[in-house]
Structures are given as C-alpha cells and as structure tokens.
Amino acid sequence: MIVEISAGKIHGKVNAPPSKSMAHRALICAFLSGQKCSIENISYSDDINATACALETLGAIITKNPNSITINGSNAYNELIADSAGSCADAFNGQNERIIQCGESGSTLRFIIPLCLVTGQRFTLCGTSRLFSRSLSVYETLCKKYGFVFEQSDQSVTVCGRLKPDTFHVQADISSQFISGLMFVLPLLAKDSTIMTEGKIESLPYIKLTQSALKTFSVTTDIFDGSIYIPGSQHYRAVNYTVEGDWSNAAFFYALNTVGHEIEVTGVDTNSLQGDRVCLEHFSLITKSAPVIDVSDCPDLAPVLMASMAANNGGVLTGTRRLKIKESDRGAAMADELSKMGVKVSVHENSITVGCGLKKPTQPLTGHNDHRIVMALSVLCTVTGGTIVGAQAVNKSMPDFFERLEGLGAQIRRLED
C-alpha cells in the first residue's frame, strides 16, 4: 500500500493501542495454565495473530472476539512436559512433525522455541527470510550443549529436545527475548533452575515485563544481579487478563506534539514496567536541545526519536548496535529516508548522529517493510507532506494506525502499489 499524507495542523485525543509485548506474554501464560482464560483489550496485529496461531498448533483452542481472545490451554501439552521419559528419536516417527508459522514476529519465534524444547517432540518453526536473519544463536548454543536437534535454514528452524532443570548460561547482549522464552517454561520443570546472564543485559525492562506476567498467573521468579532464579514444579493459574496500553506505539502519537501538533494520549500507565515509557523524557529533551540519548534499553523508540530529532535540533542516539537486527536495519533505513527530507544522518557501530533542517521529501519515502519506520515517517509527513511506499507494514503492530491519524484530522490518501 502507498499512502499520501498532506501537511496540516492536527489535534485531538487518541487512546493508546494495547501493548503488543504484554499481549504476547499473557497469551502464552494463559495457554500454559491448561485452562480457560480471557485476554481483554487485544489488537489483532500480525505479530499477535502469529503467537495465537503458534499456540493453536501446540494445542490451544482459541476464540477471537472483536477486542478479546478466549484461550483454552492444552492439558495434553502439559502432560508432555510432565512425561520426562523419551527422546527425540523415539518421539518422532517421521509423520508427527508439527509446523508452526511465525510470520515475521521475532517475539513469537523466540518465545515459542522453548515451549517446543520441553516436549521431546519435533517442531519446525517457519517465517520470512528477514525473521531468520535475526540471531537465534542463544538457542543454537543451548541445543548443541544438550545434544538437541537444531537445524536452521533461511526460512525455518527445526528443533527437538527435552529441557531438564539446570543452570543456563545465556548471552544477554543479543536480545532479552531468549531469557523471557526460558522464563516461561523453566517453572514447569520438576526442579529449580537458574538463568545466568553473560554480558550486559539488553532491554532489561522486557525481562521485568515477563516476570510481571508470570506473577499475575501465579508463577514466581527472582531476578538478582546477573541471574534469574526459577523454582520448579510451579503451576500457572488461570486468570482473566486485561492488556495495558502500549508505550511503544503511543510514542508515535506523543511524537506528534514534538513537531507542532496538539495531541492528548490516553490509556497508558505512567507507572508501567514498560521501558518505552521513557519516551516522554526523551521527547522533552529533544524539543529543548540536541541531546545524547541511550536507547540500549528502548531500541524500539529509535526510529521515532530520530524523526523527532530531525524535526527539531538534531541529536545523537547511543546504544544503537542492535538496530541492525530488527525488522530492518533501522539506523540505515531512517538515514536513507531522512536524507530524502534534507536531513543528514551518520550511522556508526553503536551510535547515530541526526542532523536537522527538515524539508518536504524530494521523492517517495520507503517503509523498508518495517512498521516503526513507516509510523516514524508518517509523523514527519504530517508536517511536510509526503508519500510512503510499503505503508502496509503497520499491520505488524498497529493495523489501524492510519485510521487513528485520520481521527486526529490528518488528510491521508491510500493508493494501490
């Protein structure tokens, strides 16, 4: 899809979309309870649909309602975990391999692999080439250590194994999603386990979000300096869960205020554990100066912070190394698009310098198949006007993004590719 956004003053009130991060976690916890749960305040983005589909493959019965999901967990799945006998060789007879579709959702892939690795069954998880260009090295190393199957191609990975309670040494400076994935399943094992993190933990707030979700479903974990202690033989308790508002996506609406609009954002909790709530502090700095901002704990904010810097006084982002392994190479993608708007950007190994002097784009902008790039560019186009190619990428996290913008008064014309 191509969208053409006209320049013009917009204003109004918008309710933050549901948190994609917490929806993933709630769905998995509800499934692991083995009972019926209702997850309220759901938005059916591509990523959430991918996790729901994956859980159905694992045995969940899911009913989708307009703003909620009813999920019945699978006792058969929990019985597989409880059955400590058997190995991949005798669990797989060549006919019962299960295929799990992950689309382009890194959260789905990294959260679901450990759910597969406690069953002793063979699973192949499939997705796009871009998804499988993102590192799975933590799980590959784990599988190699325990003699599990781990076979990766450019669009799939096949795993088979049965995790036992242990002390797991996990490289923590790649993605917190590996740690969260293990946190979901280790409480179900017969004895206690510990995750020992190696290297600086990236995105620690996301690990705390996982801990919070587990606690809501009656599973306890203890996070210490550099380690996570997880008691075994725990049971998830079925609860009805309401997903809180999403700071990651609310940031795009808050950013509109930094480029001259007047927008009130509702539905977010200022005391949330979501790390991206720091966007308000960052935007305040951006409108007053050319700040240096560390995004190592909030990498998803990088595109919209770059957009806001470009429309104000410029600035520098540090801790940007992991932007290369997102849905796109986000630093390079934003540099390409901002150059079309007269803004010079210098991308370095672990930092990005953003200039200023925003102008109307000289040619159509490109979304790089990345929802956060499309939404960041859309914020700027409400000021300069412009056309964005590949705008359908917003379906990954906020399918109604352009409808929300129009509700604030933005003039948007949709064109076919």
Q: What residues act catalytically? A: 300
Round to whole Å and give the CA distance between 325 and 318: 16
Q: List C-alpha distances in Å: 298 to 96, 236, 317, 370.
A: 40, 29, 11, 17
For 356, counting Cβ atoms within 10 Å of its Cβ (0-12 exposed, 13-18 middle, 19+ buried), the class is: middle
Q: Where are the beta strands (DSSP E) in 115-261?
A: 122-126, 149-152, 156-160, 167-171, 193-198, 222-224, 227-230, 241-242
| Span between the terminal Cα atoms of the chain, in Å | 5
Q: List C-alpha distances in Å: 152 to 144, 189, 325.
A: 13, 26, 17
Round to whole Å and give the CA distance between 39 and 20: 12
- Nearest of 372, 398, 392 to residue 43 by alpha carbon: 398
Query: Can you tell me whether residue 342 is helix, strand or coil?
Result: coil
Q: How far is C-alpha 73 from the geometric centre of its chain's CA atoms?
A: 23
Round to whole Å and give the CA distance between 100 and 95: 15
Round to whole Å and give the CA distance between 351 and 382: 27
- Nearest of 113, 161, 166, 104 to residue 137 by alpha carbon: 113
Round to whole Å and give the CA distance between 401 and 80: 41
Round to whole Å and give the CA distance between 396 and 372: 9
Angle at which helices 247-258 and 371-384 pack, to 10 degrees?
A: 20
